[in-house]
Chain A
Amino acid sequence: MLSRVAERMYWFGRYVERIENTARLINVNTNLVLDLPKVKFIWASLISITGYEDRFFSRFTILDEKNVIKFLLDGENCSIMTSVRMARENARTTREIMPNEAWEKINKLYLYLEKNLHKGIRREGRHQLLKDITESCQELTGYLSGCMSIDEAYNFMKIGSDLERADMTTRILDVGCLNLLNPEHPEIREYETMLWMNVLQSLTAYQMYRQHVDDRINGEDVADFLLRDEKFPRAVAHCLSDVNESFTWLPNHDEPLRSVTRAQRAISNSDVAELLASGDLHMFIDDIQADLAHIHNQLNSTWFDYQSD
């Protein structure tokens, strides 16, 4: 397939995943705020997860619920609307590749949000809006996995969505740790269990954690589950295994495959309890993110940025 099209499919996969993740993240944290009205930094931590603090403060002076939600719904960079717009644009330029229903779905979501996005700013309309968004994404993913051959186009899209997922999981976990270890708010320790639950819920991992790991929620197990579990679809190890498998279907895959196995090895050799105890988990997560960035660069140089002349 064409390099240009492969790259667009990859980004399409990333953006669709980002839309869904962002919607879930807002939803879960809105619920958390209802439980912990006194804890002030929850909204701030959402901005930390995106990594766009500077962009946020160039637009807003006050970091409060309304502004954070505005930023996440309709900001310039990582917002839901931007991601929908980009996913639609990538789909529009690869319409001949993906099933019609998939294009129609993302187009409909775009038209729907153009009209209804503002309803998410106030708490009353937020839940419904976010639910509609996640469901649209799920339907879209359903069409794609149900109606598209597992060909190169599909693999590039899948790689995009797996890398985006892994990236989001590391970010949410990272911010969770930072909050708990924040020396300025020692009182937060009191809510430790609730915050770890929140980390799990942000990744829709709560139920599976309960079923497969432990009835009690504790930091080591949560972090271990989200980083090293092979079976949970949003765990980093699982995402990387998927990427590994997708790579093997693609031509000239040696270099990219090397970069993903390196990342997999680092994770499987890690001792999460130890990292958490020594306070090194944050640095370890930084390393994983660097690995993810490296895999992305390998994709670029191997398949997208083809230079013949």
Chain B
Amino acid sequence: MDLKGYKAPANTYDELFTGNQRSRPGLKDIGNFLKKTSLKELNRRKYDAELAIRSMGITFTVYSDGDGGNIDRNWPFDIIPRTILKKEWQPIEKGLEQRLRALNLFITDVYNDQKIIKDKIIPREILASSKDYRTFCEGVTPVLGIWAHVCGTDLIRDGDGTIYVLEDNLRVPSGVSYMLENRNISKRILPEMFKNYNVLPMDNYPTQLLDTLSSISPRPMDFPEVVVLTPGIYNSAYFEHSFLAQRMGAELVEGSDLVVGDDNCVYMKTVAGLSRVDVIYRRIDDLYLDPEVFRADSALGVNGLMRAWKKGKVALANAPGAGVADDKVIYTYVPEMIKYYLGEDPILPNVPSFICSNKQHLQHVLANVENLVVKPANESGGYGMYIGPYESKRRTAEIKRLIKANPRNYIAQPIINLSTVPTLCDNSIEPRHVDLRPFILQGDRTYVTAGGLTRVALVKGSLIVNSSQGGGSKDTWIIEPIKRTRGT
């Protein structure tokens, strides 16, 4: 296919090609593959991928208020993989582990001694006003001192090639099943590419997850009873819940399947009667977990679950209250946390951020808002985000009003020109912006997925990669070039 017209936008890093469509070092075979393969052939493979996704039933649910109810959409997938060389990936992996270790130490600290506040590293008022701080968790230290056992950290690459951490998702991060299914599909669709490269495998994730979850069981034993708690079939990530339960060989339970006994232990209702549960990988938000403690109107949770957790009779992953470190204002302090708790320099930088509750920062943000990205502190999925250059005057006035009314709830960042990857669009290959969400596990050991879920903004020029807002995905290849021995 002719790629002569392929050009990344100004000041943007393309993951595969430098200017003039030259492949980056080590990635020549992929670049050549795209150049040599006809559009017809690429479209055929795209069609095969769509067919596979349909018949495998890889879907996600889009909520809608209309009469149609929720819509099950086929997972949007682009066949051209996103590539990173292994030698570049290794320090990223270290950086991600480092980050999660610090975050877990931070959470234990804020619910116990609050040393980081006493030592004036983080202002007390920021913690006090965090929406996800749970007074209920004060005084608790879960098994191994770990709160966030599963973390999805979003990475982006700026025009100069620097990789930044955009945010850490510590509540109920999702996407890992799509990461694994993407790999399955690209093995079917691009089998020949796996011959030329050593692409690091990622399919051991479910095993690692099960090991991580087993390691936090309140009853140390070989095979503790681990379950996945789902809000049910109408949740947007139900596919993933069921996928992970299946791959781990764990029961997929709903709130109504569980009861807490008088002994404060959690049991599931089985055909043989009640059966004790040790570890719950919960995919329900904190506030719906236990109507006794949080929202009384929750039909998804289990009465007494928090009691059982606090008494140490059951482990919850992630632990309730872990979301305090998910707050976007807390995020800005993660580099300080790393130095404070680990005595190390942060390996991965944060995106430079302005905290609107800081007076000087606030003035700067209000004066320059048209050139900034503004984010609410406690939203996920890209909701409520403001991207200066793309917004209307009305929306600009509105965001200024919102920031002034509640500065604590906002941070602002310079616009990062997310890197691009060649993407198969209607009859051409064009650069589209991507981010990357690796998944990090921490139990008795830490583990980082080889790569992660690459999300791609399918609309030309768009920086919004969320699947709920028209984004797609790509398989992510961490590549180790195969050394060809002489003579063969």
Contact = CB atoms under 8 A, between A and B. Distances in A.
B10 interface: no
Given A95-B242, A104-B56, A107-B55, A4 B256 contact: yes
Contacts of A100: 56
B253 interface: yes
A1 B56 contact: no
B54 interface: yes
A306 B57 contact: no
B57 A6 contact: no
Contact of A2 (B55, B242, B251): B251
Interface string A205-223: 0000000000000000000
B158 to A, nearest CB: 40
Contact of A1 (B54, B55, B251, B274): B251
A163 to B, nearest CB: 17
Interface string A166-202: 0000000000000000000000000000000000000
Contacts of B268: 2
B272 A2 contact: no
- The SS class assigned to the B binding surface is mixed
Contacts of A44: none
Contact of B257 (A2, A96, A111, A252): A2
10 contacts: A5-B251, A92-B57, A92-B242, A95-B242, A96-B246, A96-B250, A100-B56, A111-B54, A251-B273, A252-B271
Contact of B274 (A92, A95, A308): A308
B259 A1 contact: no
Contacts of B57: 92, 103-104, 107
B271 A92 contact: no
Contacts of A104: 55-57
Given A92-B242, A97-B246, 5 more contacts: A95-B242, A95-B243, A107-B56, A108-B55, A308-B269
B39 to A, nearest CB: 27
A156 B245 CA distance: 20
B269 A3 contact: yes
B392 interface: no
Contacts of B242: 92-93, 95-96
B271 A3 contact: yes
A283 interface: no
A309 interface: yes
Contacts of B251: 1-2, 5, 96
A132 interface: no
Given A2-B257, A104-B55, A104-B57, A250 B252 contact: no
Interface string B38-80: 0000000000000000111100000000000000000000000
Contacts of B272: 251-252
A106 B277 CA distance: 32
A142 B307 CA distance: 46
Contacts of A89: 233
A95 B55 CA distance: 14
A201 to B, nearest CB: 33
Given A4-B254, A4-B256, A303 B245 contact: no
Nearest to B239: A95
A247 to B, nearest CB: 12
Nearest to A3: B269
B20 interface: no
B270 interface: yes
A139 interface: no
A65 interface: no
Nearest to A250: B271
A303 B271 contact: yes
Given A92-B57, A96-B242, A107-B57, A152 B271 contact: yes
A4 B257 contact: yes
A306 B55 contact: no
B232 to A, nearest CB: 8
